[in-house]
A and B are shown apart, each in its own frame.
Chain A
Amino acid sequence: MPASYSHLAALQPGHIAIITSLNLPSQFRQRLLALGFRQGRQVTMLRRSAFAGPIHVRIGTTEVMLRRRDAQQVNVTLVRG
């Protein structure tokens, strides 16, 4: 399957992707790094909430929620759709 490039907010539930870069202000970037969002790590989209609310993803053994607006700044490569 050819790799496709996208951002975290575009993933559908069940999608697995690899983080390629974090395009974020440094403070927020640091927080995401501390939560395990590092380049090359695998992230799984678990669910998207209703009314354009936050998304729920798993990275390693940690599960986090983040807003779609912020997730758009996390660039990923889709591995399994």
Chain B
Amino acid sequence: MKRIAVLGMPNTGKSTFFNRFTGATASVGNWAGMTVDLMRATLKIGEVTVDVIDLPGIYDLRGFSEDEMVVQRFLESTPLHLIIIILNTAQIDRQLSLALQIKHLQIPAILLLNMADEAPKFGVKVNVKKIAQHLEMPVISMSAKYGNQHGRGYDAAIDAIAQTLHQQEYPICVHNVSDCAIGDRQLATELDAILHDAVHVSTQHSNTLTTRLDRLLLHPILGLPLFFTAMYLMFQVVYTLGTPLQELLGLGLDWIKVAALEPSLAPFPTFLKGFLIGGLYDGIGTVVAFIPVILLFFFCMAIVEDSGYLARSAFLMDAFMERLGLDGRSFVMSLMGFGCNVPAIMGTRVMRSPGLRMLSMLVIPFSLCSARLNVFIFMTTALFASQIAPIVLFSLYLFSFAAALVTALLFKGQFPNHDPLVLELPPYRFPTVKQIFVRAWVEVKHFLRWSNRFIIAGVVIIWLLNNLPMDVPAASDQTLSGMIGQAIQPLLQPLGINSQLAIALIFGFVAKEVVLGGLAVIYGASNDASLGGAIAHQIDWVQAYSFMLFTLLYIPCLSTIAVLKRESKSAKFAALAVVWSIALAWMTSFLFYQGARRLGF
């Protein structure tokens, strides 16, 4: 077993390469001796089995950001057979400095000049052979995005990796990265020598598409309205295409239940039948029916993220975020949080100021993630007329923003931030169809793994609580869930949340999808009509909206809490995030429910 690390600057297509190289088989794994997760994959190159690790993108090997220190610790603790360096060809004039720093580490390395397809647009010409001579390592020009559709660079890269790996029998470890570091002056001299010899950049660069698009999209007045319009359109696409698909899948699952499952289970005792159909099948089926919505959502996310528009939102929002004690990056991370809060929180590692990082981590859990979106789509389509449902859903996004805003304003004094901000604005690109699919597929896989672990367990527990003891009517006050619900009624009654909904909330803290599965189990048991109809029978829209507000805010899910604790290295901070969100949720729902009732709704 040999070991390879993939290293590069941010925005160089490093993950695209890593996905292509490993066939998107990588999984996140905790690395021994490190407190952070790194992507890794095991694959065969020729005869050799290799372990490939994707290191976070860094600018400087000597840096002090969390990411840079992760890389330093990794290099000092892990013997390697090879480092693959990924740089963006179009920006070789500055990025070569990282390759130079690696050269001085004395670990076998290979340099892949990625995005070779873009370089001509920027007027960049590179003499690969000369760079290889200077760096004393193999250098290959390629495109990770297009693979062999662009030249034969990708195959050549794999060949070179195999060859270097073959020659390297023993792994090498760096004892101290800073000992190998060279000073700024020497770095500049070496860099200039290579650039002078091997790189030609024409001063008249002609990437006019990005320049023209920016003139509109970063316009001082139109920029922000255009951005929010784009976000609204994305929401509309997911909703208008996703909901019918979800309903169709739901109907299909119902049909299977009636046509196949119920007849074949007919001879079994009622309790077991109820458990299998009303518990497991209905609970999981309701959650699974949302896979098309998740797919669509992440199709859109992949486009927005990879196009470079997401980075632009940092530029547009920074002035506003600065007044909240945050910065443009916090805004980008909050948007990422609309997919899933966990990677968004990990994304705050690029921030060096602890205050800024903590405050960002405190607001990100209020981003309405895709799991909560599923719950809300389910409830709004069940309880509101089809014309109003998307508006109701969109209003929850506004509440999500408002909660983040209020939180930042209230806590910015506790988390002072003087971090300077500089961010790259990459050129606009359109991801390939394959990239979009791979991204969405990875998310769906993640979702399915979740459902295996937590959603099934959550749904089963909720069903059992709802149906035990066996001699009382299901979902009544005498069941276990009824008793638990009654116990916390004093807290939730002022919010219009009844004891059955309370049970869904309690277990929903594990994963918000459980709220959805739980609702299916609870209301599926009480009525033979459609699930949505059953809910509409028991609660009115004011209660439903109050419940949705509470679900939106009340607590970060279990994995978010875990990652909050790990990233902040403070149990106290994680506790603050939990307590504050519960308090905010309670107050918001209380004000809404009581206010609406006073107004006569």
Q: Is A10 an interface residue (CB 8 A)?
A: no
Instruction: Give A35-81 interface residues, CB cut-off 8 Å to B.
Output: 35-36, 38, 46-54, 56, 60-67, 69-70
Q: Is B565 an interface residue (CB 8 A)?
A: no
Bound CA span A18–B105, Å: 33
CB-nearest residue of chain B relative to A60? Answer: B93
Bound CA span A55–B64, Å: 25
- How many residue pairs bridge A and B at CB < 8 Å? 111
Bound CA span A30–B184, Å: 9
Q: Is B166 an interface residue (CB 8 A)?
A: no
A34 lies within 8 A of B97 (CB): yes
Q: Collect the chain A residues with CB atoms within 8 Å of residue B214's CB.
A: 46-47, 56
Instruction: Using known A-B contacts A49-B220, A64-B425, determine if residue A28 contacts B318 with beta carbons closer than 8 Å.
Output: no
Q: Collect the chain A residues with CB atoms within 8 Å of residue B32's CB.
A: none
A62 lies within 8 A of B91 (CB): yes
Q: Which of B14-22, B106-114, B172-180, B415-423 contacts A (4 or more CB under 8 A)?
A: B415-423
Bound CA span A30–B64, Å: 10
Bound CA span A36–B90, Å: 13
Query: Contact flags (1/0) for B292-327 with A, using CB distance below 8 Å?
Result: 000000000000000000000011101110100001
Bound CA span A53–B328, Å: 10
Bound CA span A67–B423, Å: 10
A33 lies within 8 A of B122 (CB): no
CB-nearest residue of chain A relative to B215? Answer: A47
A67 lies within 8 A of B420 (CB): yes
> B201 contacts which of A48, A54, A61, A70 (Cβ < 8 Å)?
A61
B423 lies within 8 A of A65 (CB): yes
Q: Is B536 an interface residue (CB 8 A)?
A: no
Q: Is B273 an interface residue (CB 8 A)?
A: no
Instruction: Using known A-B contacts A31-B422, A62-B94, determine if residue A56 contacts B218 with beta carbons closer than 8 Å.
Output: yes
> B94 contacts which of A36, A49, A51, A52 (Cβ < 8 Å)?
A36
Bound CA span A51–B328, Å: 14
Give the shortest distance, in Å, between A15 (CB) and chain B (any CB).
16
Q: Collect the chain B residues with CB atoms within 8 Å of residue A27's CB.
A: 63-64, 352
Bound CA span A30–B424, Å: 15
Q: Collect the chain B residues with CB atoms within 8 Å of residue A65's CB.
A: 314-315, 318, 328, 421-423, 425
Q: Collect the chain A residues with CB atoms within 8 Å of residue B254's CB.
A: none
Q: Collect the chain B residues with CB atoms within 8 Å of residue A32's CB.
A: 422
A66 lies within 8 A of B421 (CB): yes
Instruction: Using known A-B contacts A34-B97, A67-B421, determine if residue A61 contacts B91 with beta carbons closer than 8 Å.
Output: yes
B421 lies within 8 A of A60 (CB): no
Query: Contact flags (1/0) for B396-428 with A, using CB distance below 8 Å?
Result: 000000000000000000000000111111110
Q: By CB atoms of chain B within 10 A, which of A46, A48, A52 has the most? A: A46
Q: Is B188 an interface residue (CB 8 A)?
A: yes
B124 lies within 8 A of A49 (CB): no
Q: Collect the chain B residues with CB atoms within 8 Å of residue A67's CB.
A: 318, 322, 327, 420-422
A63 lies within 8 A of B425 (CB): yes
> B320 contacts which of A35, A36, A48, A51 (Cβ < 8 Å)?
A51
Bound CA span A68–B95, Å: 25
A54 lies within 8 A of B93 (CB): no
A30 lies within 8 A of B60 (CB): yes
> A49 contacts which of B62, B97, B318, B424 (Cβ < 8 Å)?
B318
Give the shortest distance, in Å, between B370 (CB) and chain A (any CB).
28
Give the shortest distance, in Å, between A26 (CB) and chain B (any CB).
9
Bound CA span A70–B419, Å: 10
> B60 contacts which of A24, A34, A49, A66 (Cβ < 8 Å)?
A34
B91 lies within 8 A of A60 (CB): yes
Q: Collect the chain B residues with CB atoms within 8 Å of residue A60's CB.
A: 91, 93-94, 201
B420 lies within 8 A of A28 (CB): yes
Instruction: Give B26-78 interface residues, CB cut-off 8 Å to A.
Output: 59-60, 62-64
Q: Collect the chain B residues with CB atoms within 8 Å of residue A46's CB.
A: 214
Q: Collect the chain A residues with CB atoms within 8 Å of residue B59's CB.
A: 30-31, 34-35
Give the shortest distance, in Å, between A41 (CB) and chain B (any CB).
9
Give the shortest distance, in Å, between B113 (CB) and chain A (any CB).
13
Q: Is B221 an interface residue (CB 8 A)?
A: yes
Q: Is B200 an interface residue (CB 8 A)?
A: no
CB-nearest residue of chain B relative to A63? Answer: B425
A36 lies within 8 A of B93 (CB): yes
Q: Collect the chain B residues with CB atoms within 8 Å of residue A33's CB.
A: 60, 97, 184
Bound CA span A24–B422, Å: 13
Bound CA span A27–B352, Å: 10
Q: Is B150 an interface residue (CB 8 A)?
A: no
Query: Contact flags (1/0) for B163-202 with A, using CB distance below 8 Å?
Result: 0000000000000000000001000100000000000010
B63 lies within 8 A of A31 (CB): yes
Q: Is B205 an interface residue (CB 8 A)?
A: yes
A38 lies within 8 A of B188 (CB): yes
Bound CA span A13–B57, Å: 31
B421 lies within 8 A of A70 (CB): yes
Bound CA span A47–B214, Å: 10
Bound CA span A47–B220, Å: 9
Bound CA span A28–B423, Å: 12
B319 lies within 8 A of A61 (CB): no
Query: Contact flags (1/0) for B533-561 with A, using CB distance below 8 Å?
Result: 00000000000000000000000000000
Q: By CB atoms of chain A within 10 A, which of B9, B223, B322 has the most? A: B322
Query: Contact flags (1/0) for B203-229 with A, using CB distance below 8 Å?
Result: 001000010001000101101000000
Q: Can you report 20 residue pairs joining A to B where beta carbons are below 8 Å apart?
A: A24-B420, A27-B352, A30-B59, A31-B422, A33-B60, A34-B9, A34-B60, A49-B218, A50-B319, A51-B319, A54-B318, A56-B425, A61-B90, A61-B122, A61-B124, A63-B425, A63-B427, A65-B318, A67-B422, A70-B420
Give the 8 A-B residue pairs with the shortest CB-CB distance, closest first: A53-B319, A36-B94, A34-B59, A51-B319, A66-B422, A50-B220, A70-B420, A61-B122
Other CB < 8 Å A-B pairs besides A49-B318, A61-B122, 8 of them? A35-B59, A46-B214, A49-B319, A56-B214, A56-B425, A60-B91, A60-B201, A67-B422
